[in-house]
Amino acid sequence: MNKGLKVALTTLGCKLNFSETSTISRQFLDQGYDVVKFDEISDIYIINTCSVTENADKQFKKLVSRVLKLNSEAFIIAIGCYAQLKPEELAQVNGVDLVLGSKEKFKILDYLNDLNKNNLAEVHSCEISETDFYKSSYSIGDRTRSFLKVQDGCDYKCTYCTIPLARGVSRSDKLSNVILAAESISNSGIKEIVLTGVNIGDYGKGEFGQKKHDNTFLELISELEKVKGISRIRISSIEPNLLSNEIIHFVANSKIFVPHFHIPLQSGSDDILRLMRRRYKRDLYRERINYIKTLIPNACIGADVIVGFPGETDELFMETYRFIQSLDISYLHVFSYSERDNTKAIDFSNIIPKQVRFKRSKMLRSLSVKMRRNFYSNQIGTKKSILFESENKKGFIHGFSENYVRVKAHWRKNLVDKIVKYDLKEISEDGYVLVESSNKLIKV
């Protein structure tokens, strides 16, 4: 009955959001809607929001403005973390018609009885304590890789973070559900799965967040190793205190799990880590990096870092800078501290001026460029398996090696979504690695 109605979806934020957007998109397809690209004219536009940084909030408002220029009569829906945390604020954005919280977003079709524009947006957002269920999700069809959600929510109480308020307690998918999803992804022909969640190392919490662990993360990846047809599985961000030596050892010996780790650091100062209420100290972080590099010398290791946290003096920032310099890691994701309502840190004293945060962020971003280039340089002369993407960018096709080296080759349509063995030849001016084909496809 919905044949001919068009819906467009877009995602702000993390891989977890992407997996959920894709799952919601399939719900619309199943009900006869025509799913179109977000920059096309559509009857309904859905924005899956993020609340991690102030920038994500601004991006939402820009997207709404863009939609109204495409179709001023379009029905605009906000879902996701920002919609859970500040539904009334989103409802007041000009053009927004419906705001759905964390529980309601997966029942979005139930709220579409009337698609007429509203003077005031309708809001349906539960108390976060009601977000005690688990919704299996994975992305498919819109990217070379599939993001497979295995866990949701978080029991950690980091003083800067709103995620527990937006997604609730830590809870996990049943192992059998994850395997079924991985098999569906495999049957679609996708070559790589990225495991995602809020705190995936905490996998094993029951469906409703019980403390009892039915399965561990190690057991999960051991079972995923057995799924046929998947060439690569990549672990997304995992906390250093949950990345055990057993997990590292498993990845080192796996034929499917790739040598790439993303391990949040946030600060290289124990004083700041304590203020953040992180669950490790820098010595443990160093131990994890060293153990990975001992077992997997060519592993790519990324880290998240927050600069400008309240109380981060110049001396403490330089402590972080020097600590990162001393580690054998490959790149950084750098975030300037952003004040978020209802977090402990918003009441902290010793606030760092925004211009100082900007300066520190710039310093670490420059360091990241050097670290990535150094990592790439050490890979030159080796042969890697490259999974190529589908876009033709000015005559080049891009892809990633198993250890997350970003490469490019001259465009060839027959390389799209293929894994090909290539020699890494040299680093180009734009920072990519140029490759030369061995003309030998990996059997997948």
pLDDT for residue 328 is more than 80 = yes
Distance of CA 29 to the CA centre of its chain: 24
pLDDT for residue 1 is more than 60 = no
Q: Distance of CA 169 to CAs 128, 129, 153, Å?
A: 9, 8, 5
Q: Which token pair is 268?
A: 């290289």
Q: Dump pLDDT digits (tens) for 295-308.
A: 999 999 999 999 99
What is the percentage of the chain residues whose pLDDT exceeds 90? 76
Q: Is the pTM of this model over 0.75?
A: yes
- On average, the pLDDT of the chain sits at 91
35 strand-pairing partners = 7
pLDDT for residue 258 is more than 50 = yes
The mean per-residue pLDDT over the stretch 321-350 comes to: 96
The mean per-residue pLDDT over the stretch 258-265 comes to: 98
Burial class (CB in 10 A: 0-12, 13-18, 19+), 185: buried
Q: Dump pLDDT digits (tens) for 351-389.
A: 999 999 999 999 999 999 999 999 999 999 999 999 999
Residues contacting 37, CB < 8 A, separation 6+? 8
For residue 213, the model assigns a pLDDT of: 53
For residue 14, the model assigns a pLDDT of: 83
pLDDT for residue 67 is more than 60 = yes
Contact yes or no for 379/298 (Cβ under 8 A): yes
| More confident site: 364 or 167 | 364
For residue 209, the model assigns a pLDDT of: 47
The mean per-residue pLDDT over the stretch 402-426 comes to: 93
Contact yes or no for 197/16 (Cβ under 8 A): yes
pLDDT for residue 444 is more than 70 = no
Q: Dump pLDDT digits (tens) for 18-32.
A: 899 999 999 999 999
pLDDT-based confidence at 208, cuts 50/70/90? very low
β 145-149/192-196 pair status: parallel
pLDDT-based confidence at 214, cuts 50/70/90? low
Domains and CATH numbers, the chain: 6-126 (3.40.50.12160), 383-441 (2.40.50.140)
For residue 409, the model assigns a pLDDT of: 92
The mean per-residue pLDDT over the stretch 422-431 comes to: 92
